[in-house]
Chain A
Amino acid sequence: MSQHEPSRSFFYRNQFLIYRLFSLSGLIPVGAFLVVHLLTNASVLGGAGAFQSRVDMIHSLGPLLVPIEWAFIFLPMLFHATVGFVIIAGGLPNVGSYPYVGNIRYTLQRATGMIAFVFIIWHIMHLHWLGTPFGGGKFDPHHATSSAATALQPLGISLLYAIGVLSAVFHFANGLWTLGITWGLWTSPAAMRRASYLSIGVGVLLGAAGLGALGGMRSTNVEQARAIETRMEDVKHMLDGQGGAGNAPAAGTALELPQLKLTPPLP
């Protein structure tokens, strides 16, 4: 019946599969990454060393980090965003006529998705080494806390981060709820209500983690943090029996780092 035009676009023909993958990608890996990322960042509340050790753990992946970043973070995110924009373009928000909670959430989901997308691009440019050619890439994995704290010091930047992080968190938490409906995890209105509490809980926790990390970074004493980081790096190099220290290799040099002990000494 629906085969009247066989030469339909790939996207059209596989709409169901693509939309389901889109939904899934919001949870795994994109959502999962968001959780890990925000919790990692929040570890700064435990001190510059705590944060640094987690960053070191991630960077211990060495040469695998870049392909992993692309395969499990950037590409899924791009996929999620692309399909997301197609979905947004196909909808017609009407929260003015129908100001119901569900509809407000629907509209916010789209708004926060777009904000999060713009934010993430900017965020990558700002801190990730990919942004180095554009004057960004301000995050130094060897001096995680101090570099981040420095980059986030301007109040405006921090505000943008707060908006971006909260948008991403809302988008994820609310998306968790809609995902449960899409896949049929919660079906009755009562179950949806309970799931709603769950997603609110997740949202509040993640939001707290995100804002906590931001606050933590901003309240960091950069000098002290730097001292800790340098000491940690020295210890690391010492343990690995390699010389040279402290000359903060921007990004790619992470590749040169050998495998690291799982329990680095804490200050």
Chain B
Amino acid sequence: MSRSHASAGTSGADGHASPTAGTTVHVRVLRQDAPAQESYWERHDVPYEPNMNVISVLQRIAAAARAKDGRRVAPVAWDCNCLEEVCGSCTMLVNGRTRMACTALVDKLLEENPEEIELKPMSKFPVVRDLVVDRGRVFRALERVQAWVPVDGSYDHGPGPRISPEQQEDAYPLSTCMSCGCCLEACPQFTKIEVHQRSGESVEQLAQRRDEAYDDGFVGAHAISQAVLFNNHPTGKMIADERMTALTAPGGIQMCGNAQNCVAVCPKQIPLTRSIARAGRAATVWAIKKLFDR
């Protein structure tokens, strides 16, 4: 493997290039102080530690609060929580690709690009600050497709419906979707919608206007997959018609362009394109039925 003069790394014991203690990891972060402000690049050097991931790099950056040139800077803001790749918080563009920062291992990233690690906020969501973006649209989409089982309530009505192991195995992967937004970030059909507060507009008015704007846009692979999940649940399918109405509304399933990036970047390997195709089939049947039942 060819290696440049970058100070991060000499050849590791196990053959491939891996940096050793005492070296430095160069990091380039695309920062933005607040919405509607200019973004700018900032460089940071972080002492290399074995088994580092991007989260620990960001933790070191926050603790040091100094840019590469020695300037005191505010810590880079970013979202994270579980650090086990189940909560879906820490999505960002690492070396240009959307992924979870907690499973982005520094050693692997330096194999991709020995010079530096590049961190950018997701590009399809409004930046709140630095690497923090507003992913409200991800959750709004779940409301659009009514991604829930419409139960009567929490009072005891005995067990749920019987479900075969095959059905469970089919549903389970879909149910592991953590709303991280990777599928949306990588989707060429999913484009950014950013709504800024107008002067004199209340927070509630803004929220309503934002939701309306979101509802015009593509609902996204994750929500389509959730709709499929609930439409296949014995109780969930009781409102299947409403979900089909949502899926065939403007911004619905028809917006899919079959690039299939969603499934390629999904950190949970959820069969999103299978869900999309199933939703497509259901929409075909549903539309024809609607045509003739009317």
Most chain B CB atoms below 10 A, which of A4, A94, A189 = A94
- Chain A interface (Cβ within 8 Å of chain B)? 1-2, 4-5, 8, 12-13, 15-17, 19-20, 87, 90-94, 97-98, 100, 102-103, 105-107, 109, 177-178, 181-189, 192
B188 near A106 (CB under 8 angstroms)?
yes
Supposing A16-B287, A184-B277, A192-B277 touch, asked if A100 and B264 sit within 8 A by C-beta, the answer is yes
19 A-B residue pairs with CB within 8 Å: A1-B215, A2-B249, A12-B250, A16-B248, A90-B191, A92-B189, A102-B258, A102-B260, A102-B264, A103-B188, A103-B259, A103-B264, A105-B259, A109-B257, A181-B280, A184-B277, A188-B271, A189-B274, A192-B277
A97 near B191 with CB under 8 A, answer no
Cβ 8 A contact of A100, one of B248, B254, B261, B278: B261
Return the 5 tightest CB-CB contacts between A and B, nearest first: A184-B281, A102-B260, A106-B259, A19-B254, A187-B277
Whole-angstrom distance between the Cβ of B129 and the nearest chain A Cβ:
23
Whole-angstrom CA separation of A263 from B188 in the bound complex: 52
Per the 8 Å Cβ criterion, residues 68-125 of B in contact with A are 96-97
Q: In the complex, A87 Cα to B254 Cα: how many Å?
A: 10
CA distance A12 to B256 in the complex (A): 15
Beyond the given A92-B188, A94-B186, could you list 7 further A-B residue pairs with CB under 8 A, ordered by the A residue number? A15-B251, A16-B287, A19-B254, A106-B188, A184-B283, A189-B273, A192-B277
The residue that A98 contacts in the complex, of B186, B256, B281, B282, with Cβ under 8 A, is B186
- The answer to whether A187 and B274 touch across the interface, beta carbons within 8 angstroms, is yes
Q: Which residues of B contact A (CB under 8 A)?
A: 96-97, 144, 186, 188-189, 191, 212, 215, 248-261, 264-265, 271, 273-274, 276-285, 287
Shortest Cβ distance from B218 into A: residue: A90
Given contacts A186-B277, A188-B274, contact A16 B257 (CB under 8 A): no
Taken together as a complex, chains A and B put the C-alpha atoms of A107 and B189 apart, in Å, by 11
Residue in contact with A4 in the complex, picked from B188, B212, B248, B256, CB distance below 8 Å: B212
Is the CB–CB distance between B277 and A181 below 8 Å? yes
- Residue among A12, A20, A178 making CB contact with B258, cutoff 8 Å: A178
Contacts of B256 in A (CB 8 A): 182
User: By the criterion CB–CB under 8 Å, are B215 and A2 in contact?
Assistant: yes
Q: Report chain B residues within 8 Å CB of A109.
A: 257
Q: How far is the CB of B257 from chain A (nearest CB, A)?
A: 6
CB distance from B164 to the nearest CB of A (A): 18
Residues of chain B within 8 A (CB-CB) of A91 are 188-189, 191, 257
Which A residues are in CB contact (< 8 Å) with B96?
Answer: 97
Contacting residues, chain B, for A90 (C-beta < 8 A): 189, 191, 255
- Which one, A20, A92, A107, contacts B254 given CB within 8 A? A20
Contacting residues, chain A, for B274 (C-beta < 8 A):
187-189
A106-B252 Cα distance, complex, nearest whole Å: 19
Is A103's CB under 8 angstroms from B260's CB?
Answer: yes
Tell me the bound Cα distance from A40 to B255 in angstroms. 35
Question: Looking at A2, A4, A188, A189, which has the most chain B CB atoms within 10 Å of its CB?
Answer: A2
B282 in contact with A184 (CB, 8 Å): yes
